[in-house]
Amino acid sequence: MKGALAVFFVAAVFAGSAARAADPTYPADTGPATIDVSKYPKVQQDAYKVFLDKCSTCHTVARAINSDYATPEEWKALVDKMHHKRYSGIDGDAQKTITDFLIYDSSIRKKDLLAAKLKAAKAAAVSTSSMTTPAAPAAPAKN
């Protein structure tokens, strides 16, 4: 019985590793693989568990934890992309939970990066709008 259990355990570990074996390694994969959420609100602590469970299915959780994503738009787009991946196991409820957690976490752990990205986005929007705003019409000539 112990032998069969050991074989099952080794097979399960190998299957999880094999699923990720085809996945390339990124620099973010080598950073910390956990977040101390003990001071986060209970709802975010629970969401962290969903994040760990779902996101570890296809890649290391370190990849998301250490990525340079920080804005709500970045997280929404990324989690939506993962939601549509085959076998991700991320249903609509998990998608919202994970997205909300990552947005909250970025506001705490990545607040400087978030502020810099939001400032850059605002500057880009102002720059773009000033380039596309038509010049005011010239005043009519007085005769």
Q: Could you state, in order of their start, the residue ranges of all structural domains in the chain? A: 33-119
User: Which pLDDT band, with edges at 50, 70 and 90, does 108 fall under?
Assistant: very high
pLDDT at 137: 57
pLDDT at 135: 57
Question: Helices 92-109 and 72-83 sit at what angle, rounded to 10 degrees?
Answer: 150
Mean pLDDT across 115-139? 78
pLDDT band at 119 (very low <50, low <70, confident <90, very high): very high
By CB neighbour count within 10 A (0-12 exposed, 13-18 middle, 19+ buried), where does 5 fall? exposed
What average pLDDT score do residues 125-133 get? 74
17: confidence class by pLDDT, cuts 50, 70, 90: very low
What residue has token string 């259990």? 5
Residue 53: CB atoms within 10 A of its CB come to: 14
Per-residue confidence (pLDDT) for residue 9, from 0 to 100: 44
Residues 55 and 64 sit within 8 Å (Cβ to Cβ): yes
Q: For 77-137, give the DSSP string.
A: HHHHHHHTSTT----HHHHHHHHHHHHHHHHHHTHHHHHHHHHHHHHHHHHHHHHHSPPPP
- What is the rounded distance in angstroms from the CA atom of residue 20 to the CA atom of residue 61? 12
At residue 99, does pLDDT exceed 80?
Answer: yes
Can you name the CATH fold of 33-119? Cytochrome Bc1 Complex; Chain D, domain 2 (1.10.760)
Write the single-letter amino acid at 6: A
Mean pLDDT of 108-130: 92
| 3-class state of residue 69 by DSSP | coil
Nearest residue to 98 (alpha-carbon basis) of 143, 133, 64, 135: 64
Among residues 88, 109, 98, which one has the least CA distance to residue 31? 109
Percentage of residues in the chain having pLDDT higher than 90: 69
Instruction: Check residue 142 and give its pLDDT.
Output: 61
DSSP-derived letter for residue 59 is S
Q: What is the pLDDT of residue 112?
A: 98
Mean pLDDT of the chain: 84
pLDDT of residue 133: 54
